[in-house]
Amino acid sequence: MLEVKYPSQRLAYPFFVTMLIFFLIQITYGLTIALQQVDPYFLQGILNFNVLRATHVNLAVIWVLTGIIATLFYVGPLLANRNMGRAWMAWLLLVVIWANVLWTAGTLIFAQQGIAGWAYGQPWFQEGLEYLEAGRITDIFLWIGFVIVAYLILRIFPKVREWTEVHWALAIGIVGLVVFWLFGMFFIPAIDLQEYFRWFVVHYWVEGIWEILYLGLAGFLLYTLFGGDRKVIGVAVFWGVLLVVMAGLIGNGHHYFWIGTPAFWQFWGALFSALEPLPIILGIWHVFLHPKQSRIPPTNRAAFHFIFSSALLELVGAGILGFTQTFPMTNVWEHGTWVTPAHGHLALFGTFGMLVIGAAYAAIPTIKGIQRMDDRLSRAAFWLVFAGILGMTLSFALGGTVQVYVYRVLAVEWFGAVVRPAMQLWKNLLFVFGTVFALGVVALSYDLLTLKQRAREPEKAVVHPAREHSAWWRKPLSTFEMGAWLVALWFIGFLLTGGLLSNNLPSVRLGDPTLPYMLAGIGYPALVIVTTLFAVRFLRACEAQPSTK
C-alpha cells in the first residue's frame, strides 16, 4: 500500500492543491467559451473567444503537468527508497509554475490587439501557435521547471543497474520533458517548417513523453494499491513504452498531411498512427489483470475509479477516436472541425487528468494520516465528471459531423448564417454537459481538500468471504467477457471511421448526408453507452470481490 515513508513526499500536497486550483480556473474558462458557442456576442471585445480558448488550453496542460509533478514527488522517494531532499528547489518550482500561469493569463490577452511582444527576433508575450500560444518567457521558465523536476527525481534514483522498468519509464519521460520542449523554443519564419517542429512538441511531448510517464506512474500506483506480481508490472510497462516509441515516432506523420510536407507522410503517418492504440489496449488489459490476479477489492475506491477510468477513456478517446482521424481520407474532412476536440478532450483529460486525480486520491489520505476515508462524495464526483466528459465528447462529435458536411462537403463559407445554426443544438448541449462536468470538478476539489475533516474512524480488520452475487454485473469478469467489451468498443470505432470515410462518396458529395449522419448518429451514442456500461460492469465486479474491512 501507499504510505508516507519520507518527509519529502509531503511536498506533493501543495502541488496537488495547486493542480485543483488551476483545474477550477480552467473549467471556468471552458464554460465561458462554451457559453460563447451558444451566444457568440457574449464578452465580445472584452475577452474574445481566441484568447479564452488559448488560456483554457494552456491551463489544461499546466494543471495536468502540476499533477504529474505532484505524483512524481510522492512516488519518487518510494521508488528510490530515500528522501528527495533539496526541498527549497521544489518550493522554487511551485513559484515558477504560479508565476508562469499568471504571466500567461496576463499576456495572452494582448492577442486581441495583435501584440506578440517581439524583441530580438522572439515573441515574448504570445506566439499564436495553436496549443503553444504562450510566449517565449513562459517557454523558458517552464523549461527551467522541467530541469528542476529532472534534477530532483533522477538524483535520488538508485544506480542504473538496479532500475526496474518503472524507473526506466519515469526516467525516459522526465528527460523527454526537458528535451522535446526545446523544439518549441525558437521562431521559424517558414510556416511549413514551423508547423513541422510545432508537432514535435504537441505530439512527441504530449502523446509520446506524457504517455511514457503515464505508463510508469499508472503501473506503480496499481501495484502499490493492489499488490500483485511486480514482474507482470514490469512486462506491461516495458512493452507499453516500446510500442509508444515504435508507433509514435513515425505516427507523428499524420499531423503532416496538410502542411506542405512530402506526400510519403500520408502513407507512413497513417500506417504507424493506426498502430498507436496498441499500447493503449495493453494498458486497459493491464488494469484488468490486477484485480483479476489479486482478487482483492480496492480499499481506496476513489483512487481506483479514477485510475481505471483513465485507462478506459484513453482507450476510447486517444485510441478509438484517434484512430478514426488518423487516415488521410478521414483526416481531410475532420481536420479543424469539432470532430477533433471530441478526440482531444477525451484523450487529454480522460488519460492524464483522470490519472492525476486518481493519484491525488491515493496520496492525499496518506499525507493527511487518514486511515479510512469517506468516499461517498468522491463517487458522486466521479460519475458527474465521467458523464460530463462523455457528454461533451458526444456534443463535439455530433456537432462536428454536421459541421463536416455543411462546411467541408457543401463548402458553405458563411459560418454565422449557415454553419453555426446547423450546429446550434450541439453547441447548446456542449454547455449543458460542460456544466455537469464542472459540478463534478467542484465536488472532487472540495472532497480532496476536506478529506481530513470528514475522515471515518478506523475499523478492526474482518475478513469477509466471497459472496455469490445473482446480479450478473457483480460477478467477476472473465477474460472472454473483457475481450468482448474491447471488441464491441472497437467495432463502434470502425463504424465511426466508415462514417468519416463516407464523405468521399459521390452521393454524399452531391448533397445526400444520410450515410455519414446515420453512422455518426448510431456510432457516437453507442460509444458513450458501451463505455459507460463497461465502466459500471468493471467497477461493480471489482467491488464485489471478497474484502477485508
pLDDT(160) > 90: yes
**What average pLDDT does this structure show over 340-359?**
95
Average pLDDT, the chain: 89
**pLDDT-based confidence at residue 448 (cuts at 50, 70, 90):** very high
Question: According to the model, what pLDDT value does residue 96 have?
Answer: 93
- Residue range 481-539, pLDDT digits in tens: 999 999 999 999 999 999 999 999 999 999 999 999 999 999 999 999 999 999 999 98
Query: Do residues 293 and 299 touch, judged by C-beta distance below 8 A?
Result: no
**What average pLDDT does this structure show over 148-169?**
94
**What average pLDDT does this structure show over 224-251?**
80
The share of the chain scoring above pLDDT 70, in percent, equals 93
**What average pLDDT does this structure show over 162-171?**
93
229 alpha-carbon distance from chain centroid:
27
**What average pLDDT does this structure show over 180-197?**
89
**pLDDT-based confidence at residue 346 (cuts at 50, 70, 90):** very high
What SS3 class is residue 321? helix
Question: According to the model, what pLDDT value does residue 461 have?
Answer: 45
473 or 247, higher pLDDT? 247
Query: Do residues 310 and 350 touch, judged by C-beta distance below 8 A?
Result: yes
Nearest to 520 by CA among 271, 326, 274, 333: 333
Question: According to the model, what pLDDT value does residue 352 have?
Answer: 95
DSSP 544: T
- Residue range 411-432, pLDDT digits in tens: 887 777 888 899 999 999 999 9
What SS3 class is residue 118? strand
Give pTM, 2 decimals. 0.94
pLDDT(139) > 90: yes
Nearest to 164 by CA among 236, 248, 227, 246: 236
**What average pLDDT does this structure show over 64-69?**
97
Nearest to 87 by CA among 6, 208, 16: 6
Residue 128: φ, ψ to 5°: 75, 5
All domains of the chain, ordered by start, with CATH? 242-455+464-549 (1.20.210.10)
pLDDT(229) > 80: no
**What average pLDDT does this structure show over 54-80?**
95
Q: How far apart are CA 82 and CA 162, in angstroms?
A: 14
Residue 390, all three cell numbers: 462523455
Say which residues have a Cβ less than 8 Å from residue 109's Cβ, sequence separation at least 6.
47, 51
Question: According to the model, what pLDDT value does residue 291 have?
Answer: 62
- Residue range 39-50, pLDDT digits in tens: 999 998 899 999
pLDDT(463) > 50: no
What SS3 class is residue 326? coil
DSSP 126: E
Amino acid making up residue 462: V
Residue 470: φ, ψ to 5°: -75, -30
Amino acid making up residue 40: P
The share of the chain scoring above pLDDT 90, in percent, equals 62
Question: According to the model, what pLDDT value does residue 462 have?
Answer: 45
**What average pLDDT does this structure show over 188-210?**
88
**What average pLDDT does this structure show over 448-455?**
89
Amino acid making up residue 407: Y
pLDDT(224) > 90: no
Q: How far apart are CA 420 and CA 543, in angstroms?
A: 45
